[in-house]
């Protein structure tokens, strides 16, 4: 999966793109594109990296990503992966369209989306209805009207949350994005194993100290922090979806000390593994 820039083929009959996937796997490697993107997850869950923000997604998740914001979605298991995506260029409807006074809130929404946005539960529920109308509409004018309704709804969500940090810096060159993709792929394949900074540095063709600075620059966390967050994320799903013991899950997810796993889990999720399982 060597990909950094995604060229989106526009629909010649429309000014924006609506895509619906309903497949066993969600294929979304680390990439970026100039189009703004609204993504709704209808089925399955997994890990998401947006800029330097690492989190998880579950059914019902709704996110908006700004122009050229690097992102990727990685589902945790095969099965039904039902996803809707809306993509459009900021000037798709004319260079001055969103500069009309009526679109002041939507302009702010676009600015905030530069860091990626997660939306509150009430907004997600209302947006689901609007997205249903958008994806079912046959006439082109109706689709555009529903998109504007969706953007207005998202712009009114005062509880929306930014994802990437204010200081996030996207890779400046394509080869840097490809290097980051190689590193993330390698970690995905070996996260259960005993991974060292030196092991991953070889994949990146960097000195370990250089790789450490590279992680801090592009993901705003150390290599070890990223690896621990990934392992905790996988462990959290095991706690919810299986009846395996906490110790079995901890060791299987790369933690060689149960006390260390419990301490890190508590610090990250603000609850113990056992209490998390009872939610």
Per residue of the chain (279 residues), what is the pLDDT tens digit? 333 445 455 565 678 899 998 887 777 777 888 899 999 999 988 888 888 788 889 999 999 999 888 888 888 776 788 999 999 988 888 888 888 888 999 999 999 999 999 999 999 999 999 999 999 988 788 999 999 999 999 999 999 999 987 767 665 555 566 788 788 889 988 989 989 999 999 998 999 999 898 888 878 789 999 899 889 988 887 887 788 999 999 999 999 899 999 999 999 888 899 988 876
Q: Which CATH topology does 17-162 take?
A: Jelly Rolls (2.60.120)
The CA-CA-CA angle for residues 169, 175, 181, to 5°, reads 75
d(C-alpha 66, C-alpha 89), whole Å: 10
**What is the predicted pLDDT for the residue at 157?**
96
**What is the predicted pLDDT for the residue at 3?**
35
Phi-psi region at 53: left, alpha or beta (left = phi > 0; alpha = psi -120 to 50) = beta
d(C-alpha 24, C-alpha 44), whole Å: 9
Where along the chain do the CATH 2.60.120.280 domains lie?
Answer: 17-162
Where along the chain do the CATH 1.10.10.60 domains lie?
Answer: 174-277
Sign of the C-alpha dihedral computed for residues 233, 236, 241 and 246 taken in this order: positive
Q: Give the H or E element holding residue 63.
A: strand 62-65
**What is the predicted pLDDT for the residue at 1?**
31
d(C-alpha 124, C-alpha 154), whole Å: 9
**What is the predicted pLDDT for the residue at 275?**
86
The model scores a pTM over 0.85: no
**What is the predicted pLDDT for the residue at 56?**
86
**What is the predicted pLDDT for the residue at 169?**
61
Q: Report whether CATH 3.40.50.2000 matches the domain 174-277.
A: no
């Amino acid at each position: 999966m060597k990909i950094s820039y995604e060229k989106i083929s526009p629909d010649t009959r429309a000014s924006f793109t609506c895509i619906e996937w309903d497949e066993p796997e969600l294929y979304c490697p680390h990439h970026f594109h100039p189009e703004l993107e609204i993504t709704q997850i209808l089925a399955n869950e997994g890990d998401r990296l947006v800029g330097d923000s690492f989190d998880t997604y579950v059914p019902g998740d709704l996110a908006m990503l700004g122009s050229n914001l690097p992102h990727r979605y990685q589902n945790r298991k095969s099965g039904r992966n039902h996803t809707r995506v809306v993509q459009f260029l900021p000037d798709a409807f004319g260079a001055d369209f969103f500069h009309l006074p009526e679109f002041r809130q939507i302009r702010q929404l676009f600015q905030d989306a530069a860091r990626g946005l997660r939306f509150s539960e009430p907004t997600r529920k209302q947006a689901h209805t609007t997205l249903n109308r958008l994806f079912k509409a046959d006439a082109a004018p109706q689709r555009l009207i529903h998109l504007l309704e969706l953007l207005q709804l998202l712009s009114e969500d005062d509880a929306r949350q930014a994802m990437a940090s204010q200081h996030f810096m996207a890779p400046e060159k394509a080869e840097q994005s490809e290097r980051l993709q190689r590193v993330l792929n390698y970690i995905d394949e070996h996260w259960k194993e005993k991974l060292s900074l030196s092991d991953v540095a070889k994949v990146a063709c960097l000195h370990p100290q250089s790789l450490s600075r590279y992680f801090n620059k592009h993901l705003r966390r150390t290599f070890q922090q990223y690896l621990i967050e990934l392992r905790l994320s996988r462990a959290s799903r095991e706690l919810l979806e299986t009846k395996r013991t906490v110790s079995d899950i901890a060791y299987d997810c790369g933690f060689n000390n149960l006390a260390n796993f419990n301490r890190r889990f508590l610090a990250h999720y603000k609850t113990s593994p056992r209490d998390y399982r009872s939610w």
